[in-house]
Structure 1
Amino acid sequence: MPATIKLGDSGDDVKRLQRVFARNKVLGPDDVDGVFGPRTEQAVKDFQQSNALAADGVVGPVTWSHVHPYREASPTLQAGAVGPVVAMLQRVLKTGFGHAGAIDGVFGPATENVVRQYQKNSGLPMTGIMDERTWMAPAGAAGATLESLSGLIL
């Protein structure tokens, strides 16, 4: 179970909480910064109130038990990365975002180029790196993201 966190705290547990709220569109991807500020506190209070919990803005064991799922970030992928997650990303990029390369699980130049284009279209820095902000940027109807379309979250 993560640590108890509140306004003014920072760290990985704050980021875990912020990811849940960002995935649920309560916070934006830019709010996932690991700093428990006023926006995070308000999101927590609203969440607590909607779950009939004490709306004190403090995330302790009771609030954590209602937060599902608190997960780590989707993996950072960049040129040279290999594996099934790269293939999952390539499949989504090929289906809807113009990836012309093979679905081979190798993050090569074709994958990097389409990631850069996706970042540009999403108003993100064009790094060519699949970072947390890129995974969580809107990618279509009904609040889809590359993270959800790739099957990394349910």
Structure 2
Amino acid sequence: MGTLRTRMPARLSAIVIASTVAALILTGCAGEADPVERAKAQVSAKEKAVAEAQTELTAASSAFCGASKDYITALDRYGDVLNDTAPTVGDVRNAGADLAAPRQDAVDSAEAAVTANQALYDAQQELVDAQAALAEAEAGPTGTPTEPAPAPSSTPLAPTASVDRVKQAESELAAAEASVTDDTPLKDAAEQFNSAAVALEMAWLALFADAGCLTDEQAAQAEAAVRAYTTALQQDLLVAGYYTGDVDGVYGPLTVQAVEDLQRAAGLPVTGTVDKATAEALQAKLAALGGAAAQDSVASTAALQQTLKLAGFWDGPVDGVWTPELTAAVQAFQTELGVEPTGTVDAATIAAFQKKIADLQAAAPAPSPSPSSSDG
């Protein structure tokens, strides 16, 4: 640079310097003279940034829906291994190991969606600030700026409760895995894993729905009905003194245990599944308690009838009375789902129904959750 400067003619050097100074002066003057145009440019740039952030969130949300569906499918295959007629402890362990990759993909995609959601919120906030600056510039030093746009709200992509339930179910499955050794009886290993795996699958299905991955209104209603049935059952079992967990609508190990305890107390076969006799025993227990418990004693059966009605397998009354016709409807429903048509409601049946709902949406484009909507 020193060599070039010494060889440059003095007159040319003066012209270059003068032009540079003039450009700087004119730029400064233009900036000072037209703050409105400068503010408009900022708003335009921020609007573009919001559009780009929304596109990124849409893509991230779609990726999460795809990855979580793959993980749910892997969990379902895991349940198939556990329900096999002759699984080994090695099968159980190997199937559990096969969950690692799809689980990581689901977790990674969830984190990416959360990051994209935050980026959209930040971009929206910057746009609001730019619009406020433009309003001030247009009003001038003596004017009154127009009312600023409302600040954006940062809304999670899914309710915190759904996310927490997934984390809890993941921990329960990890505990079930840790409890199995080479000396664990195969039957016990399968039971431990099955209830934990079903609970995890259902927790992810709930998150899948809450995150907006179910687009069909009827499917969403049916998924909600399944959770309503389990919630009503848990509430009845809680009032009856058999359930000690959270009433969260997830048919997990504690729900199975509560049903088994009820059956033992009633002198019924201990299956952990709800049939006509078990439902009647629960209703009798609640009726004996009297008061509000007696009034609510039919809630879980009524919720089951509503679920079957939405699925097209029940055209009778939603009255909370378990009849032979209801047993037949449950069996027909189970046949359609591809599970054993026992006429009783168990975790596998509920999980199969929720997976069926998710499968119905496989061909539908993944929606983009609205970050400006209110938290569910």
The normalised TM-score by structure 1 is 0.54
| 1:42 counterpart letter in structure 2 | D
SS across alignment from 1:101: coil
What's the CA shift for 1:44? 2.8
Q: How far apart, in 2, do the equivalents of 1:23 and 1:49 lie?
A: 8
For 1:1-154, what aligned pairs fall within 5 Å after superposition? 24-28=72-76, 29-31=79-81, 36-48=92-104, 51=107, 67-70=166-169, 71=199, 72-73=252-253, 76-80=273-277, 81=279, 82=283, 83-138=298-353, 140-143=356-359
SS state of the match for residue 25, structure 1?
Answer: helix
Following TM superposition, by how much is the alpha carbon of 1:111 offset from its aligned partner in structure 2, in angstroms?
Answer: 1.4
| Native 8 Å contact 1:84 1:105 kept in 2 | yes
Cα distance per residue 1:1-47 (max 9 Å; x no partner):
xxxxxxxxxxxxxxxxxxxx9993322142456x6421211203442
The answer to whether the 8 A contact 2:71-2:103 is kept is no
CA distance in 2, matches of 1:93, 1:44: 34
Instruction: Give the deviation of 1:130 after TM superposition.
Output: 1.0
Unmatched runs of 5 consecutive residues or more in structure 2? 1-68, 84-88, 109-163, 170-198, 200-251, 257-272, 284-297, 361-376
CA distance in 2, matches of 1:23, 1:92: 25
Distance 1:103 1:67 in 2: 31
Q: Offset at 1:143?
A: 3.7
Q: Give the SS at the match of 2:275.
A: coil
Q: Is the 8 A contact 1:122 1:138 kept in 2?
A: yes
TM-score by length of 2: 0.25
Identity among equivalent pairs (%):
23
Whether the 8 Å CA contact 1:77–1:86 is kept in 2: the answer is no
* Alignment partners' CA distance in 2, 1:108 and 1:133: 22
Distance 1:47 1:135, change over 3 A: same
Q: How many residues align?
A: 111
Contiguous gaps of at least 5 residues in structure 1: 1-20, 53-64, 145-154
**Over aligned residue pairs, what C-alpha RMSD do you find?**
3.4
